[in-house]
Structure 1
Amino acid sequence: MSTHKNQQPDRTEITLDDRSFIIKSDFSDLASGTGAYAVYALANALACYGGEPKSCWATRFLPPDMNPDQQPNAGLDAIGHACKMLNLAWQGEQVRTLDGLTQPLLASYMLAAAAPDNRCVPQNIKPDDRLILTTNLATAATALIAHIHEAELAKAFDLRFAQRCQRLFNENDLNLVPAAKIAGKVQGIHAMQDLFEISLANALHMMMDASALDVEIDLAQIDLLPEAKVVCEHFGLAPLGLIAPGALVIAGEREACDALLNRYRLAKVPAKIIGQVLKTGEGRWLVEGAERTRLPHYHTDELMKLPVLLEDKPGVAPQQPQIPA
């Protein structure tokens, strides 16, 4: 049996003869209850590499003076539930103490099976590739903002509008594995990137940096729900700079992208071609009608503006954003 290990910055790839596996990890604050979202983030990322997520396990790191039997299991229960939703084998947890740690920390790990010669990575992107965006942009961020700042939206508009925004997105919408699987089966699809923890603009920069290429995006092809447009305008947020859980960016040859869009129509996955890849040195552009502007790079997610913007709004306490269940 031959074994080969390939350590990448964000994952580990292991090949055993003709079988290949990818392992990826994620760390979260156990007290925040975000463990379930780590499961979706890992599954989506592995599926984007061309892997099929199979199993998940976790390690709970505790301060030396903390009794593991007295810690709540809500975070682990949520992970188990997410694994069930994704049809993954939940292998359970182990507990370790760690000197210097002041609060519990949860490390989640996931293993995916993959064909050794089938990797969807940005380094595969080529000039003249087309770029597909699935779903409407900023939908998840709109629901998130509405959950956290319901009072502000109710005051500015009405309570029904705030509640309608809250219903735009739910936990089921986090799962991009089916959409990534469909794309991975189309010959000529070169790379995929989920927007679980990154904005569209920054994801495009990251993909182009990895491939040493440039890009042109047609803003008219990026869809926003009316509610998302209203919320972004009210808070002064740029949709291109918001994290977009539930959305996927795909790069591939023109014919491959056309074929993928046909498959997505049959699967009822909303998707559109939003731009194309340019040769190195041609620049990174946003096109809106006759205007051409540089693709912005956001140093922090636009959501992080909210605590600052709301400090001067009476009756609204600034909060750090969290993804709603």
Structure 2
Amino acid sequence: MKKILVTGGTTFVSKYAAEYFVNMGYEVYVLNRNTKSQVRGVKLIEVDRHNLNGILKNLSFDVVADITAYNEKDIIDFVKELGSYGQYIMISSSAVYPEYGVQPFLEESEKSANKFWGAYGTDKIEAENVLLEKVKDAYILRPPYLYGPMNNVYREAFVFDCALADRKFYLPNDGSMKLQFFHVKDLCGLMEVIIRNKPDEHIFNVGNIEAVSIKEWVTICYKSLGKTPIFVNVNETIEQRNYFSFYNYEYYLDVTRQSKIYPKTISLEDGIKDAAKWYLEHRTDVGKKPYFEYIDSNLVGR
């Protein structure tokens, strides 16, 4: 039985990963402050990652899955306190690539500030850089938009709410802007392949090979609940983040490297069905944003 340490373990990706690896037969330790409910079957290390005080020094793990490293300090304070471990996998982000870069982004593409992601992206760059200084054989995964069960971010859940209320959907422009997604189960499945096979490449763009237009994405979300959307197009002079879940930013990752070791991913249709099923039972677990209020006050009847 492999021992894996998951940082976090109580929110979306880290929570899903903790449950996934428990179900796959791993001995799962989670490191968090115990302010939220824990996944059944994990072993809790109740501590702040910035104040470990030697708690990890005498522990050993086959794998460290660092899902809550967002900046340089997160890495520095954590890594210096680790005892013995085998592989180190960090979940980074596609936000490390600048919006002006040549697409599709390759793993070797320039990393720089992205005007849409701001400090989130530059902090991830610094976290990656210091990790590779301190753990030279670390694996780094850069996902696009993650989705699926346990997603507490108001993305697909917003569309589900529109569908459940039989609302018209206010669509940015003509709806042709494309998005790239990756189901959280695929992220965990890829991590398991890396754990098992120890590939030579250590930095991976991850995601579905195909991108999808926002109009197609909304239609798939409605369909998962047996609904068909009626669209109202909103012109580009109105800031779309006031009424829609994503920035007005289209980008695309080249995931050829991932596909060589993890070729089959969950279809968006099946993944959205999975997300919808979870959401119907966990509506209060998602942080809602006031999109409806903005739409009703500013767009309805225009």
TM exceeding 0.5? no
- TM (norm. structure 2) is 0.29
In our comparison, the structure showing a higher alpha carbon Rg is 1
- TM (norm. structure 1) is 0.27
**Which has more strand, going by share of residues?**
1
Where relative contact order (Cα < 8 A, 6+ residues apart) is larger, the structure is 1
